[in-house]
């Protein structure tokens, strides 16, 4: 009937209530309390017994997921860390001419902006797109929330 049981036991009724309140705050939104019982024992202990169940659709999101963190790391590296397919030097020089320092600045741009660079044609652009796609990225993709391109 009940999924879980939590027991708080202290000699001081104030302490047991404080412990319960702290636990309740830490789990706010992710549990549903079914029943709460307060019991006083013969040896002057106060016990609070909680029957609860965890909400199935609750998710704790503290920071980026592992995949998001990998994407952030990939996009924020300086261009010199990347080895592009095709003519690596040509792609890197063209991106430098556009003032692009990392791949986060690349994915935010549109195709026509990229093709404005001197000596950066369709083949170089296709090579760049292929490199991005093999790492799960693409031109025009949204950056992870809170991501600063100048990292």
Q: Using one digit for the tens of pLDDT, what is the confidence trace for 116-150? A: 888 788 888 888 888 888 888 888 888 776 566 55
What pLDDT is stored for residue 6 in this prediction? 72
pTM for the predicted model, two decimal places: 0.54
What pLDDT is stored for residue 2 in this prediction? 47
Query: What are the tokens at 150?
Result: 């100048």
Beta-carbon contacts of residue 70 (< 8 Å; ≥ 6 apart) = 136
């Amino acid at each position: 009937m009940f999924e879980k049981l939590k027991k708080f036991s202290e000699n001081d009724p104030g302490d047991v209530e404080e412990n319960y309140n702290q636990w309740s705050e830490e789990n706010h939104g992710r549990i549903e309390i079914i029943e709460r019982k307060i019991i006083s024992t013969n040896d002057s202990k106060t016990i609070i017994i909680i029957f609860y169940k965890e909400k199935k659709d609750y998710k704790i999101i503290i920071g980026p997921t592992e995949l998001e963190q990998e994407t952030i790391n990939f996009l924020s590296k300086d261009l010199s860390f990347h080895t592009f397919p095709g003519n690596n030097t040509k792609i890197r020089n063209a991106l430098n001419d556009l003032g692009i320092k990392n791949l986060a600045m690349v994915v935010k741009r549109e195709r026509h902006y990229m093709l404005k660079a001197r000596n950066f044609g369709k083949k170089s652009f296709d090579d760049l797109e292929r490199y991005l796609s093999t790492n799960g990225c693409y031109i025009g993709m949204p950056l992870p929330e809170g991501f600063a391109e100048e990292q």
